[in-house]
Amino acid sequence: MIVGLIIGGIGSYFIWANKPRTGEVIDTIKVGPTTSVVIRAEKGGPKGFVELVENGDVKWQSLIPPYAGKPGRPGVSVTEVAVAVRVVRGERAELFVLDRSNGSKLGGIHLGLDHGAIKDTGGPLQFGDVRRTYEIVAGDGWNQVVAIDLTLGQPLWKKELGSAPVTAGGMEGGNLWLVQGGLKRWFNVHSGAEDRSMARTGKSWEDVQREADGGPLQAPKSP
């Protein structure tokens, strides 16, 4: 009986000692006046944690695969129903989607499967609006943007961007804009159609191609 208790105690200690524990804060994303999503490192390990904090209290906490973001370069999009976190597994990019109400996993979406291993270019990872997230994925000689509807839980459209790395971006007037080679490109959030008009860019597409730094840009195919 005593031996059994000792063995049971050792087993319980082993499980406790090897349980993932939270480490330092990597990112804090405010999503409301009193609500934030906090990304933490795993203490002594490669994984991470996502926390929903309301009025200073942690409402839920979820363990995630290695986080792709870095301090000041977040990889988190938050809507009313989901928290989508960019993670890396085996040199592949993935969107890890959690239920905003309780932190349970809703699903995962693999990114860049039609290319090789991903590469950290130091640029932005994603942008988001009230319903969608726009994921920037990159590797040797390629860049891609994928729009995902977090309410439907599925990709909407995907665009190949060419070899020049994405260095900045944002949302404006129903468009996603991205900077490549010092040039600003505009994509419709619903269809992904690129506005290459001179009224928008101030230049012809040929001039845009010629002036791009870091390699040619890839023009999207006509619908």
167-179 pLDDT tens trace: 999 999 889 999 9
> How far is residue 109 from each of residues 50, 73, 99, 105, 158, measured CA to CA in Å?
17, 20, 14, 12, 13
Q: Which residues of 155-182 are buried (b: 16+ CB within 10 A; e: fewer)?
A: ebbbbebbbbbbbebeeeeebbbbbbbe
Q: Residue 208: its pLDDT value, please?
A: 60
Cα separation of 40 and 69, whole Å?
11
Which residue, among 174, 145, 172, has the nearest Cα to 160 in the 3D structure? 145
| β-bridge partners, 62 | 50
Q: Which CATH class is domain 22-211?
A: mainly beta
pLDDT at 201 over 80: no
Average confidence (pLDDT) over 92-110: 95
Phi, psi of 12 (to 5 degrees): -65, -40
